[in-house]
Each structure stands twice: as structure tokens, then as C-alpha cells.
Chain A
Amino acid sequence: MSKGKILLVDDDPDLVEAMRLVLEGNGYECLHASNGTRALEAIPREKPDLMVLDVMMDDLTEGFHVAYKIRKPEPGLEPFQKMPIIMLTAIGQRTGIRLNLGTDADYLPVEEFLEKPVQPKELLAKIQALLAKVSGGKGSS
């Protein structure tokens, strides 16, 4: 029995492979989308429980657009409005460059913002905590 279905959205197949080894090795089911458009198509079809989302894919802020469309939500994405999103990017705290123009971190429409490479333990802990919160909210396990 899978512990949850996770959608990995990243244009780097090697990174996806690394993530897959960790997540599948820990009992999660993994899906992959190589850009934002494919991710938005896959969500209603595959109904993932959580998404790990890269930021810079086809353009500099693609990940943000995907997250905003889910949170807004766009037509067809309503059931996924509250799906936990972990943003994972090669540019984060350490570079000191903020991605979203002129806004604060509070403004990020995601639950977690992590920098690559991420420690497997840390990623697993965050995923577990976020999934527990969602299923806790639904009153089931």
C-alpha cells in the first residue's frame, strides 16, 4: 500500500531519478512531469496527494505560475486547491536572490521552500508532516 502519490515536477531527469529512489524507497508512489503545463494536465488525471515543484523550467518563474494556478484555483483544479506543494529550487537562501519580484517569502503560495540538493531525511520529514496535516484535516488516516 502506497503512503501517498507524489507528483515530481522538474525538467532535470537526473534529479527526478534521485528523488524517485528516495521516495519510492520509502513507500511513496511517484509521478513525473517535465514542465508546468504537463503538471497541470496530469493533476486532474492522476490526483496526486502532494507536489514537489521546481521553479525555473521553461521560463524563470514557471513554478510560481503553476502554484498560483492551483491555489487560485483554475477551472478543473478546484479539488487540488489545498494540495501541499514543496517548492524545490537550485536558487534559494544561499544565493540571497529572491525569486518573486518585490514580495516577501510569506507571499509564496507553497508550504515549503527547499534548496537543491536537499537532504533525503529532511525531504521525507517535510512530506510526512504535510501529508499527516492534510489527512488529519479530513479526519481520516
Chain B
Amino acid sequence: MPIWAWVTGAALLAAVITIAVFARRAHLGRLEAVREIARIEADQERILQGLILAQDASSRILMPGELTEMATRIARETGQVLGMEGTCVLMHPPGGAEEPTGHCWGRIPDGMADAERPVEEVAVQGFGSPLSIPIRMGETLLGEFRLAESPGRLLNAREVQVARLLAQVVAIAAQYRSQQNALERAEEDKRRFILATTHDLRAPVATIGQLVQVLREGYAEELGAKQRELLDKVHGRVDQLLDLLSDLLNLAADDQSLGRMRRTVPVSLSAVFDAQVEAARTACETRAIELTSRRPDGPLMRMAAEGDLEKILSNLLSNAVKYTRPGGQINASLEDSASGVLFRVKDTGIGIPEGALRNLFTEYFRAPNAKEMERHGTGLGLALVQKLVRKYGGRIRVDSVEGKGTMFEVLLPPE
């Protein structure tokens, strides 16, 4: 073989080897790149899941529920999303009186659920380094978010950032709950105060009323005509004073700033209706007014603050009784329809003059013929009813012809 052929062959071989080496390098580099991209993607996916978790948790802050539920959920889901061995959300109780409470998930090192024990002292055999993120609101330390890593899965800076964000969400939720609890306590204090005040104001007046009734009916001694006449007046005034005290205290109890925040509970409209119709019955019997009522079967449940529905019904019913002359009629009804529950009180009373209809729901306003018939009254009843009906998204309607009668209609829309 001539020498040139050897040379050419060797050169070709060298070229092929060089190409093969470069190709292999390029292939390895690509593989590395693909692995790197997969790692970054997984990393991003964890961060994204962490952010979704934070967003979901923050949207729940204002919803009713226990802080415990949220803390437990954040401990679990953070652990899962970030691939931790175990996690603990440790909350210091406000005031520091009780033991801190811990909400843990997964496998945790000994002592990790113990907030008293600094995280550096927690035994870590079989775990990566334990991590502690303070849960704080401003300067106040509310608790600690502890994460136990797997030996082969250490958190990177961005993942720690996500965990911090979740700790912040827990801090805001804890702060909100403690303010909410303080408000509820204030509301309860106010309720008890109003109850005690109502009682202290009404009790002596009620006793006067009781003594007067006993005197009027001759239980002490037989009375002369003039004595009886005067005692009747005392009796009327006492009744008026009791009504006035009720109205004023109702108005105070329904003070809007706190009234709006009162806790609502399921209330049976049917039960309220029955109780109020029954309460009006005695007054109707005394005044020889015929009272009829009608309602559908079933409890007709509604969410309402305690006493609100009672006040709506009792005010409208007692007005009907007050402004209907003896021998008249009152009909109360409850109806359930697609547009809501309709409560209606219809009477054959003195009616409302056309000119007075416009101001009917204004505080302290009383129609002239109402004043004439019942000299004393606060003019607060219908204002309160309207306020309450609006609070529940309902509407109130009145239909009246002076001298013929009045119909009030309250519609409470479905929830």
C-alpha cells in the first residue's frame, strides 16, 4: 500500500474518532441539560403548588372556622407539596397562660412538637436539618412553623420563601381569629349589660303595675268609683312606661355598629309566628278583637340573629292590636313562596291617613290619628321593623285606607 493511502486512512480514522468524541460529549451535555430542566421544572412545580396553597389558605382567613383546622391543613399540605418528612405548626396561646398547641403532620424527630424546646436541640437522626420559621405579627411571636427535611431533600432558598409565606398566612389568620373572639366577648358583655339594665329598669315598674292591678281588682279592699278611676290611670301610665322601656332598650340592643356583627343562628319562622300570635291573643281577648292566623306546615328555617324576627312580628302585631277598635278583626298569616317568606298582618283598624304614609318609617314619627287614639307611643316601632327587614335583604309594604284598616306585608327573600 502506498504511503499516501496510509496517511489518508489515518487522517480519516482520526476525523471519525474526533467526530465520535464530540458527538458523545454533545449527547452527554444534552442529557445533563434535560435533567437540569426537569429538576427546575419540579422545583417550579413545588413553588407553584406552595403558592396555590398560600392563596387558598389566605382566601379562607375570613371564613368562619377554627384556626386549628387551618393550621392542621397548612402543616399537612406544606409537608406534601415541599416533600418534607414531617411538619409542625406550633401556636402560642394569646396571653401565654396555657400550653402552646401543636398541629403536626408526617414523621417528625423527637421533640419537634415541643415548642418549649429550641429547634437546634431537636434530635435529627434520620432527618435533614430541622428548620424553624417564626409565625409573627409585627413584633409579636405567635408561634413557629417547623419543618423536618428528608436527608436527601433539602429545601432551597425559594422553597423556604414559600414556607415563610405560609407562616405569614397562619399569622394573619391567628390575628383575625383573636380579634373576632374579642369582638364576640364584647358583644356578649353588651348583651348581658342590656339584659341586666332592662331588668333593673323594668322590674320596679312591673311591681308597681302588679300592686296596682291587685288594688284595682279589690284584693286589698273594695274601692270607691273615684279611686278605681284614678288607679286605672296609674295602670295605663305604668303600661305605657313598660312599653317605652322595651322600645328604647330594643333600639339600644340593635345598635347598628354591633347589631350587624351579631351571630346568626337557625330560627324557625313558624315557631316565632306561633309565639307572637299567641302573645297578641291575650291583648285581643281583653279588647274583644277577633284574631285569626294561618301558616303553612313545617318550621320555615331562616338564619337570623336572636330576637330579630320576634321583634319584626311583635311590633306589627302589637300595632294592629293598638289601632283596632273593640269588635274589629286582625288576621296574621305566613306564606312560603318562590320569592321568599311573606308575613302579613291585616286589621280593620283606624288606618293611616294618606299624608302620613310617607313618614311612617321615620323614627319618632306618629300619624295624627294614631296619636289621637293612643296618646302615648314612641314612634320607634316601625323604624326598628324597617331596619331589621332591610338587614335581612327583605322589603316591607303597607297598604292602608284611613278608617277602613291597614295591611303590612314583610317579604324575606330566600337565603
Q: Using CB atoms and an 8 Å cutoff, list the residues of chain A in contact with chain B.
A: 12, 14-15, 17-19, 21-22, 25, 56, 60, 90-91, 93-99, 102, 104-106, 115-120, 122
Q: CB within 8 A of B203: which of A22, A60, A90, A119?
A: A90
Q: CB within 8 A of A91: which of B195, B211, B275?
A: B195
Output the least CB separation between A90 and chain B (Å): 4
Is A105 touching B275 in the complex (CB atoms < 8 A)?
Answer: yes
B124-140 interface mask toward A, CB cutoff 8 Å, 1 = contact, 0 = none? 00000000000000000
Provide the bound-state CA to CA distance between A12 and B211, in Å: 12
Is B206 touching A98 in the complex (CB atoms < 8 A)?
Answer: no
Is B202 touching A60 in the complex (CB atoms < 8 A)?
Answer: no
Provide the bound-state CA to CA distance between A119 and B242, in Å: 15
Is A117 touching B209 in the complex (CB atoms < 8 A)?
Answer: yes
Q: CB within 8 A of A119: which of B196, B198, B213, B265?
A: B213
Q: Which residues of chain B have C-beta atoms less than 8 A from A19's C-beta?
A: 210
Is A98 touching B275 in the complex (CB atoms < 8 A)?
Answer: no
Provide the bound-state CA to CA distance between A115 and B213, in Å: 14
Is A25 touching B210 in the complex (CB atoms < 8 A)?
Answer: no
Given contacts A116-B210, A117-B213, contact A97 B307 (CB under 8 A): yes
The 6 closest A-B pairs by CB, nearest first: A117-B209, A116-B206, A117-B210, A90-B203, A21-B219, A18-B210
B336-377 interface mask toward A, CB cutoff 8 Å, 1 = contact, 0 = none? 000000000000000000000000000000000000000000
Is B210 touching A90 in the complex (CB atoms < 8 A)?
Answer: no
Provide the bound-state CA to CA distance between A12 and B214, in Å: 16
Q: Which residues of chain A have C-beta atoms less than 8 A from B265's C-beta?
A: 102
Given contacts A93-B314, A98-B306, A104-B268, contact A116 B203 (CB under 8 A): yes
Interface centre among B202, B212, B249 (most CB of A within 10 A): B202
Q: CB within 8 A of A118: which of B210, B211, B243, B253?
A: B210
Q: Which residues of chain B have C-beta atoms less than 8 A from A118's C-beta?
A: 210, 213
Provide the bound-state CA to CA distance between A120 and B210, in Å: 9
Question: Mind listing 6 A-B residue pairs with CB under 8 Å?
Answer: A56-B199, A60-B196, A105-B275, A116-B207, A117-B210, A118-B213
Chain A CB within 8 A of B304 CB: no
Is A15 touching B207 in the complex (CB atoms < 8 A)?
Answer: yes
Is A60 touching B219 in the complex (CB atoms < 8 A)?
Answer: no
Q: Which residues of chain A have C-beta atoms less than 8 A from B217's C-beta?
A: 22, 120
Chain A CB within 8 A of B182 CB: no
Interface centre among A14, A18, A99, A115 (most CB of B within 10 A): A18
Q: CB within 8 A of A90: which of B206, B250, B275?
A: B206
Q: Which residue of A lies closest to B209 (CB)?
A: A117
Provide the bound-state CA to CA distance between A118 and B314, in Å: 18
Is B199 touching A96 in the complex (CB atoms < 8 A)?
Answer: no
Is A120 touching B243 in the complex (CB atoms < 8 A)?
Answer: no
B254-284 interface mask toward A, CB cutoff 8 Å, 1 = contact, 0 = none? 0000000000010010010001100100100
Q: Using CB atoms and an 8 Å cutoff, list the residues of chain B in contact with chain A.
A: 192, 194-196, 198-199, 202-203, 206-207, 209-214, 217, 219-220, 238, 242-243, 246, 249-250, 253, 265, 268, 271, 275-276, 279, 282, 306-307, 310-311, 314
Given contacts A60-B195, A91-B195, A93-B314, contact A14 B202 (CB under 8 A): no
Is B210 touching A94 in the complex (CB atoms < 8 A)?
Answer: no
Q: CB within 8 A of A97: which of B238, B253, B271?
A: B253
Provide the bound-state CA to CA distance between A119 and B282, in Å: 10
Q: Which residue of A lies closest to B214 (CB)?
A: A18
Provide the bound-state CA to CA distance between A115 and B210, in Å: 11
Output the least CB separation between B261 and chain A (Å): 16
Provide the bound-state CA to CA distance between A17 and B199, in Å: 20
Q: CB within 8 A of B219: which of A12, A97, A120?
A: A120
Besides A97-B253, A105-B275, 11 more A-B contacts (Cβ < 8 Å) are: A15-B211, A17-B211, A18-B213, A56-B199, A91-B195, A93-B279, A93-B310, A94-B242, A97-B198, A98-B306, A116-B207
Provide the bound-state CA to CA distance between A106 and B267, in Å: 12
Q: Which residues of chain A have C-beta atoms less than 8 A from B220's C-beta?
A: 21
Output the least CB separation between B380 and chain A (Å): 12
Provide the bound-state CA to CA distance between A116 and B276, in Å: 17
Output the least CB separation between B402 and chain A (Å): 28
Q: Which residues of chain B have C-beta atoms less than 8 A from A60's C-beta?
A: 192, 195-196, 199
Q: CB within 8 A of A94: which of B203, B209, B212, B246?
A: B246
Q: Which residues of chain A have C-beta atoms less than 8 A from B212's C-beta?
A: 117
Q: Which residues of chain B have C-beta atoms less than 8 A from A56's C-beta?
A: 196, 199, 203
Is B214 touching A21 in the complex (CB atoms < 8 A)?
Answer: yes
Is B195 touching A120 in the complex (CB atoms < 8 A)?
Answer: no
Is A93 touching B209 in the complex (CB atoms < 8 A)?
Answer: no
Q: CB within 8 A of B213: which of A90, A95, A120?
A: A120
Q: Which residues of chain A have C-beta atoms less than 8 A from B198's C-beta?
A: 90-91, 95, 97
